C-alpha cells in the first residue's frame, strides 16, 4: 500500500534537494530501523534522543530547510536555531508546540 502526502508548492525545491542528498548519503539516523520510531514518538525522552542523533547527520541542513519550507509541525526536525548554534535541533511533540533545545 502506498499513500501520498501533498507538498506545498513553495516546499518542492527543498523536498527535491533533501531527496537528492538522502540518495547520496550512506546512512541517516532517522532511517535506521532500530531507532526510526524516535522521530515521531510522543515520549519526550525519545524525541530528545532523536534530537541528539540529528546533530551529526549528513543531511541535517537539507532536512532543516525542508521542515522549514514545509512548515512541519509534527516530529523531530532540524530547526534553524539548532543549526546556527551548532546545537541539536528543536523537537516538537504531537500535542504541544513547546520547543526544546538544550
Cα distances (angstroms) measured from residue 73 to each of 2, 13, 78:
22, 19, 12
Model confidence at 92, in pLDDT bands (50, 70, 90)?
low
Residue 97 lies in a domain: no
In a domain? residue 85: yes
- Give the CA distances from residue 92 to residues 35, 64, 70, in Å, rounded to whole numbers and listed in that order: 17, 13, 15
Q: Is residue 40 part of a domain?
A: yes
Q: How many domains does the chain have?
A: 1
Q: Which three cell numbers stand for residue 64?
A: 532543516
Listed range (6-10, 63-67, 71-75, 90-94) with the worst mean pLDDT: 90-94
Q: Could you report the per-residue pLDDT of 19-56, keeping only the tens digit for each?
A: 999 999 999 999 998 988 998 888 888 888 888 888 88
Is residue 1 domain-resident?
no
Question: Is residue 4 situated within a structural domain?
Answer: no
Write down the mean pLDDT value for the chain. 78
Average of per-residue pLDDT across 74-90: 54
Task: Give the domain extent around 62.
Answer: 11-21+29-92
Residue 42 maps to a domain: yes
| CA atoms of 54 and 52, how far apart (whole Å) | 5
**Residue 47, in any domain of the structure:** yes
Amino acid at each position: 500500500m502506498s499513500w501520498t502526502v501533498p507538498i506545498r508548492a513553495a516546499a518542492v525545491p527543498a523536498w527535491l534537494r533533501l531527496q537528492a542528498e538522502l540518495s547520496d548519503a550512506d546512512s541517516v539516523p532517522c532511517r535506521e530501523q532500530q531507532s526510526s520510531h524516535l522521530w515521531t514518538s510522543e515520549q519526550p525522552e525519545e524525541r530528545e534522543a532523536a534530537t541528539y542523533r540529528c546533530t551529526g547527520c549528513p543531511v541535517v541542513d537539507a532536512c532543516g530547510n525542508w521542515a522549514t519550507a514545509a512548515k512541519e509541525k509534527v516530529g523531530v526536525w532540524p530547526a534553524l536555531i539548532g543549526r546556527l548554534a551548532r546545537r541539536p535541533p528543536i523537537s516538537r511533540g504531537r500535542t504541544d508546540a513547546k520547543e526544546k533545545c538544550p
